[in-house]
Structure 1
C-alpha cells in the first residue's frame, strides 16, 4: 500500500535546542563566508522530525532572492540514490535481477561487457569508463543516454568487472536506461509515480529547460567575485547519474521513508546499504547509490553531489536517527559543512576539548608551509589571528585547535594532525588521522613570504623553465617540442593551454630547496628539487613552485599565492 510519509515541520522549542540552533546558524554563516557560498538551504531531521529547516544567503544574486527551505536545487549525484531505488523497486516487482547481465537491457554492447551485471553498475565495479571524468564529455550539443553509451562502447574496460572500485557516472546513465526499458516509462516518470507522489515530494522532478519556481541560480567564485556558472546542456545532466531537482524539505520526506517500508522493504534496503565485495574478497565503501562510512563509531550512510553551480549532501547517521541535508548553489566542500552541523546534534562526534595553554608563536610559525597531501594535491598551512588554518585547491580550509604542542584538531571534521619533527627539531611533515585512515604527509617547503631570497645559481636553467612555461600557455604541440620535461608532464600540460601563464612577462628566481629524501612524486617521477619563482603576466603577479627530478627534468609546477 502506498501512503504519503508525513514529516513534522515543527521545530523543537526547548531552550537547549534554541541554543544549538543559534550555534548552527553561526557555524553555517562562517562557512559561507570562508567558502564564498552565495546561498544554502539546510534541514536537520532527528527521530523523524525536522528540527531545523532554514535558508541562508541568496538563491539568486541578480534578483536578490533569499535561499529558503523551499529553494529548488540541482541534486547532481544525490540523484543516484533515486536511480538505485528505481532499479531496486523493479527487482522487488520481479522485473529484473541484480545479477542480470546488462547486455540483456543495453543494445550493441561489446563482448568484453558480457560479465557486467546490474549490481556492478550500482556499486561502481563495472570497469566502464566515466564519460565525464575520463572522456571529458562536456558537449554543448544534445547528449542522449545512447550517445553517452556510444562514447564508451569503443573504449577498453579499466579493469575486469568486480575487480576494482571506480566511480562511474556512465553506469548510472545505463541504469536509467534499464529503468526506462523495464518499466515502460522514462525513469523520472517511474520515480514520480512510485516514489515522489506517494511521499508528497511535490518539488522533486527531473531537470529541464522549463521555468521552475524557486530554482536556485548556480555560481562560480572566480578570483574575488561571483560569476554565473558555465552553461552545460541539460541533456548532459538530466539522466540517471545526476538529473534530479529537489528541496531540503522533500529530501527530509525521503529520509523518513527510508526508515519504513512504504517504498523499499527491509530486505531490499539491506542490499542497498551493504558494502560491495570485490573478486579478491575485499569490501568497498559503496552500496547501491550510497556511500557507506563511519565517523567516530557512528554509522554514516551518505551521498554527495557536485556539478557546475551546485553542491549537495544527504548524510544519515542511522543509529543516531539524525540526518543532515545541505544543498547550495556553487562548488564547495560540503562534507565539511554537513559534518560540522552533525556535531551540534551528536556531541560524541567531537574530539576531546583542546588545551587552553598557548603555544609559542615561533613554534606555530614553524608549522606553516606546504605539504604533499597526495600526488598533485598540495595542502597549505598558514596562520590567521594566531591560529593554524589549512587551505588547498580541493579543501575549503578550516581552523585547527591544539591538544598538545604538536597535535591539532579540526574545528569542523573528526580529524587530527600531528606535526612530525626531524632530528634537529625541524618540521619534516605531518600525520593526518581520521577514523578511517592514517596518512603521513611530507612537507614540501615554506610559504613564499618565509623564503630567504637567493641569487639565481643557474640562469640558464631559469631560461629553460621559462621556455617550458611559455609552452604550457599554448599547450598541444608547443609542449611536445620542449626537451626538459618528463613524459608525464608533457602528457598533462599538452592537453590544453594554461591561460594563467599567457603573456608571461617576467620570471624571477627566489629560492630553491632539495627534497629528494621526502618521497614526493609528480607525474610518476620522484621530485628532487623545488625552485621558487615570482612571475608576472598582463593580468596578475603570482608565484611558482617548479618540481625537478634529480636529472633536472621539469615534472610539474604549482601556481600559488603568497
Structure 2
C-alpha cells in the first residue's frame, strides 16, 4: 500500500509539473509557465524560429518538459530531436547515461533503437529496389531456396514486401520466446517449416522479429555484403550518421553510450545490454545517437533526395495492411487515431485526420518512438534508457502542438503500450517463456 501511495505521489507531482508546460506548448504566444521545472521562465532559451512562420512549435517548452522528465531521477536519461522544414530545431540529451557512474547524455550518446531499426530495413531494401536489383514482389525463395512454411506452397508465395509489412502469415511475435531463450536466428528460421500459420502469406498482419529479419538474407544474396555492412555503406555513411552502429559490439565500442535501466527496490538499476534481439539485426540491431536520428528524420522528410528520393519515401510510408489493434492502448491512441496500418518498416496512422508515419520500440531497458508529420514537414524522435513509459506522452504532445489540436493531456499517461512496437513477446507483463518467479528474481 505504501508503495502505491509513493507511486501516486510521484505521478501527481510529475503531472503537476508537466501539464502547464504541455498547455503552453499549444500556442507560441502562451505565457511562460511558472511550474516546477529545472529551468525557470527567465533562463529558458528562446524557441528557434522555424522556416515556416505558421508553425506553433515552442521548442524551448518541449526541451523544458524533457528536463522535467529526467528531474529527480524520474527517468535516468533521454534524448530528443525535432526537425522541421529541413532544419534541426533541437537535438539534445537530458539526464545521465548510467545511474551508477553518471555522465550527461548529449547529442552523441548512443542508444539502442530496438524496433525503430525496422525502418532502416525497409529503407535499405527500398534503395536496392530503386537500384533495380530487387523488386517489392520478388519472392523470398529466389534468395533463400531452403525457406519453408507449414502451409503447402506458402513459402514460395512470400514476397519482399510481405516480409517488411509483417504479412508472412505466422502468428504475432512467432519465436520471440525462443529468441529470448538464446536460440540462434538460423535455427529459428528452420523451425518455421513446422510452425502453425495464421493465414496464407500476404493475407493478414502478424508482427514479427525473426521472420522480419529474413530481409537481411535477401540483402546479402542481392549484394554479396552482410546486411549491417550494406546499411552502413548505403545509409549511415552518406547521411552522416557517424555514431550509428549494429549489434552489441557496436554499442559497447561507442565513445559514449546509455546503459539500459530497469526498476529495482531502491530505484533505477543499470544493466549490460543483452545480445538476444541483436541477433535479428534488421528487426532490432541498430544503435544510434540523437544526432544520427536527426539526420534520419531529415532524410525521411524528403531533404536528402540524393540518398532517399521522394518516390521511394512515398512507397515506404504507404500502408499495406490494416493494424486496428494500434488504435487501442495509450490514451493518445484511443483519442487521436482513427485508422492504423503497417507500411514497409514503418507504421502509418490517421492522426485526427492527418497522416502520421510512426514507429516505436522497446527492449530490456531501452524505449523509443519516432514520428513524421508530412503535411507539416515535421519529424520527432525520442529515445530513453529505461523501461519507464513517462516520455511516451511527449511525442503526441508535440504532434498536437504542430496541428493546433486542443484537449490532449498525454504526459500523465505512463502506461507502457504494447502497440508501440515492443520487442518483448509478453503475456500479462511477463516475457513469454519466463516464469513469474524467474521474472521477479531477475530483470527482463
User: TM-score by structure 2 length?
Assistant: 0.71
Distance across 2 between alignment mates of 1:181 and 1:343: 43
Q: Which residue of 1 aligns with 2:254?
A: 212
After superposition, residues 204-353 of structure 1 pair within 5 angstroms as 204-209=244-249, 210-229=252-271, 231-233=273-275, 236-237=278-279, 239-258=281-300, 259-260=302-303, 261-277=305-321, 285-333=341-389, 334-344=391-401, 346=402, 348-351=404-407
Residue 196 (structure 2) aligned to one of 151, 156, 167: 156
Separation of aligned partners in 2, 1:91 and 1:493 = 36
1:36 deviation in Å?
3.5
Structure-2 change in CA distance of 1:32 and 1:494 (3 Å): closer
Alpha-carbon separation, structure 1, partners of 2:58 and 2:231: 36
Distance 1:19 1:138 in 2: 41
Q: 1-side partners of 2:414 and 2:47: how far apart?
A: 36
Deviations, residues 307-356 of structure 1 (Å, cap 9, x unaligned):
11211122111111121111111123354221123344x1513338x9xx
Change (3 A) 1:156 1:140: closer
8 A contact 1:122–1:171 mirrored in 2: no
Q: CA deviation at 1:496?
A: 5.9
Deviation digits for residues 237-265 of structure 1 (CA, Å, limit 9, x no counterpart): 45111101111111111222230422233
For residues 317 and 138 of structure 1, the distance between their equivalents in structure 2, rounded to whole angstroms, comes to: 34
Listed as ranges, the gaps of 5+ residues in structure 2 are 1-44, 323-338, 419-426
Q: 1:194 aligns with which of 231, 234, 238?
A: 234
Structure-1 separation of matches of 2:48 and 2:123: 35
* Aligned match of 1:97: 135
Change beyond 3 A, Cα 1:59–1:310: same
SS, match of residue 349 in structure 1: coil
Q: For 2:162, what is the secondary structure of its paired residue?
A: helix
Q: List aligned pairs for 1:374-453, cutoff 5 A.
A: 394=417
Distance 2:163 2:156 in 1: 13
Given that residues 355 and 373 in structure 2 are in contact (C-alpha distance below 8 angstroms), is that contact kept between their aligned partners in structure 1? Answer: yes
Structure 2 residue 436 is matched with structure 1 residue 498: yes
Alpha-carbon distance change, 38 to 262 in structure 1, aligned in 2, over 3 angstroms: same
Contact 1:300-1:316 at 8 Å conserved across structures:
yes
- Cα–Cα, structure 1 residues 25 and 264, in superposed 2: closer, same or farther, change >3 Å? closer
Indicate the residue corresponding to 1:169 in structure 2.
Answer: 209
- Partner of 1:72 in structure 2? 110
Q: Which has the higher strand share?
A: 1
Task: Name the CA distance, whole Å, in 1 between partners of 2:223 and 2:394.
Answer: 38
| TM-score where L is the length of structure 1 | 0.57
For residue 4 of structure 2, what is the aligned residue in structure 1?
none
The whole-number CA distance in structure 2 between the counterparts of 1:494 and 1:53 is: 36
Counterpart of 2:32?
A: none
Tell me, what secondary structure is at the counterpart of 2:282? coil
Q: Does the CA-based 8 Å contact 1:206-1:238 persist in structure 2?
A: no
Give the corresponding residue for 2:123. Answer: 85
Unmatched runs of 5 consecutive residues or more in structure 1? 1-9, 355-387, 396-487, 503-538, 540-562
C-alpha contact 2:219 2:226 (8 A) present in aligned 1: yes
- Number of equivalent positions: 359
Q: Distance in 2 between matches of 1:293 and 1:326?
A: 18
Give 1 or 2 for the bigger CA radius of gyration: 1
State whether residues 276 and 284 of structure 1, in contact with CA within 8 Å, keep that contact through their aligned partners in structure 2. no
Q: In structure 2, do the counterparts of structure 1 residues 267 and 347 end up closer, same or farther at CA, with 3 Å as the change threshold?
A: closer
Which residue is 1:37 aligned to?
A: 75
Higher helix share: 2
Deviation at 1:495, TM superposition (A): 6.8
| Residues 504-562 of structure 1, C-alpha deviations (whole Å, 9 max, x = no match) | xxxxxxxxxxxxxxxxxxxxxxxxxxxxxxxxxxx9xxxxxxxxxxxxxxxxxxxxxxx
Deviation at 1:180, TM superposition (A): 1.3
- Tell me how far apart the structure 1 counterparts of residues 290 and 278 of structure 2 sit (CA, whole Å): 24
For the structure 1 residues 64 and 109, does the alpha-carbon distance in structure 2 shift closer, same or farther, using more than 3 Å as the test?
same
Query: How far off is 1:42 after superposition?
Result: 0.9
Report the Cα distance in structure 2 between the residues aligned to 1:274 and 1:160, rounded to whole angstroms: 22
Kindly provide the CA deviation profile for residues 108-161 of structure 1, in whole angstroms up to 9, marking residues without a partner as x.
2224322211111111111134566654421346x3x42331233321222211
SS at 2:123's partner residue? helix
Secondary structure at 1:202's aligned position in 2?
A: coil
Q: Secondary structure at the match of 1:157?
A: coil
Aligned partner of residue 301 in structure 1, secondary structure: strand
In the alignment, what sits opposite 1:417? none
Alpha-carbon deviations, 1:54-91, whole Å to 9, x = none? 21111122221011111111111111111111111111
Match of 1:555 in 2: none
Aligned in 2, Cα 1:40/1:128: closer, same or farther, shift over 3 Å?
same
